[in-house]
């Protein structure tokens, strides 16, 4: 069984998607449509930067969505008969997965992610936050560290890696406590704020209001929720969980374990970077991993997949 994976914020890189857009007219059309919908040149920001513009959340989130969609379109062009049984994404990538499953339209997803990115950026500016990646510390010890530092767990990325989120002072305390507790590494992340924590509550409220009237349909294939690690249900369930996702920890381990139980044997990551492939390797090591982020990776992947 094949499942598609879609990356979240942080995977962006200046130049992403350009060679596929130049190789496939239908891929270039995605960027053209995005420019028309958003009213600015998102393609130029993706392809030329500057990086200072690309990393802004209201640019970055729709940019990663469009590039991920382009990577999927290029793969589908080369392997029309490829069967996809399920899909998942990390954070904003979950919206890409919902688009793939036809739960949300292309325009709807693009507008949601521009707004979501803007709301998150505003929340970051309201309160100074930070995030810490902790490697090699047992979950129970890490929960104690988080409680003592007054921060929260934001991402259960893999058995070895968990991310904490919260006020900057609390994260600095957590860094010290995690190392004292025996963590192999504790790394401050280069992010604008405390994603997937209660510091994002204002962004969640604004997103809830924004998506209230956006049409959401039942997905045509299973889309795994970051909040529950289980496939999404009704459109109202989707709406509710996608708001909760902004302030809730990403249950990526549970997502991959759930896909494994469903019988997934191959993961295809579509979009910039290979972060999700690296995490899956640590959770489901026997699975086959492929990715499409540019021309060379597309060629490598289609050589693996049946014609």
Between CA 264 and CA 257 the distance in angstroms is 10
Contacting residues for 173 by C-beta, under 8 A, at least 6 apart: 148, 149, 150, 151
In whole angstroms, what is the distance from residue 22 CA to residue 198 CA?
A: 42
Is residue 105 part of the annotated active site? The answer reads no
Counting DSSP H helices and E strands in the chain, the numbers are: 14, 8
| Nearest Cα to Cα of residue 252 among 260, 286, 167, 63 | 260
Length of the chain: 307
Q: Collapsing DSSP states into helix, strand and coil, what is residue 300?
A: helix
The alpha carbon of residue 299 and the mean position of all alpha carbons in its chain are separated, in whole angstroms, by 24
Determine the 3-state secondary structure of 215 from DSSP.
Answer: coil
196: annotated active-site residue: yes
Catalytic residue among 57, 59, 196, 197: 196
Which is the catalytic residue, given 57, 68, 86, 91? 91
Other beta carbons less than 10 A from residue 126's beta carbon: 14
Query: Which residues, 6 or more positions from 207, have their beta carbon under 8 angstroms from its beta carbon?
Result: 112, 115, 116, 119, 242, 243, 246
Element (H, E) at 249: none
Q: Which positions are catalytic?
A: 91, 196
């Amino acid at each position: 069984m094949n499942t598609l994976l879609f990356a979240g914020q942080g995977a962006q890189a200046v130049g992403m998607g350009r060679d596929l857009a130049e190789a496939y007219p239908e891929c270039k059309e995605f960027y053209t449509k995005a420019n028309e919908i958003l009213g600015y040149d998102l393609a130029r920001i993706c392809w030329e930067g500057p990086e200072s513009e690309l990393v802004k959340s209201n640019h970055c989130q729709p940019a990663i969505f469009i590039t991920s969609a382009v990577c999927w379109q290029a793969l589908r062009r080369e392997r029309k008969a490829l069967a996809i049984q399920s899909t998942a994404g990390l954070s904003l990538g979950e919206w890409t997965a919902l688009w793939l499953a036809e739960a949300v339209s292309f325009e709807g997803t693009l507008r949601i992610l521009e707004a979501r990115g803007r709301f998150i950026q505003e929340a970051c500016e309201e309160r100074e936050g930070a995030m810490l990646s902790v490697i090699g510390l047992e979950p129970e010890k890490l929960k104690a560290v988080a409680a003592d530092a007054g921060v929260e767990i934001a991402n259960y990325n893999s058995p070895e890696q968990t991310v904490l989120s919260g006020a900057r002072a609390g994260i600095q305390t957590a860094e010290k406590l995690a190392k004292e507790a025996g963590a192999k590494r504790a790394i401050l992340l280069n992010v604008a704020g405390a994603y997937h924590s209660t510091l994002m509550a204002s962004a969640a409220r604004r997103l809830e209001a924004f998506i209230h009237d956006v049409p959401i349909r039942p997905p045509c294939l299973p889309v795994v929720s970051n909040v529950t690690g289980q496939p999404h249900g009704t459109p109202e369930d989707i709406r509710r969980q996608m708001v909760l996702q902004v302030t809730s920890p990403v249950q990526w381990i549970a997502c991959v374990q759930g896909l494994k139980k469903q019988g997934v044997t191959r993961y295809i990551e579509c979009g910039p970077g290979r972060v999700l492939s690296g995490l899956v390797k640590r959770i489901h090591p026997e699975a086959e991993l492929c990715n499409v982020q540019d021309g060379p990776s597309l060629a490598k992947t289609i050589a693996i997949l049946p014609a």
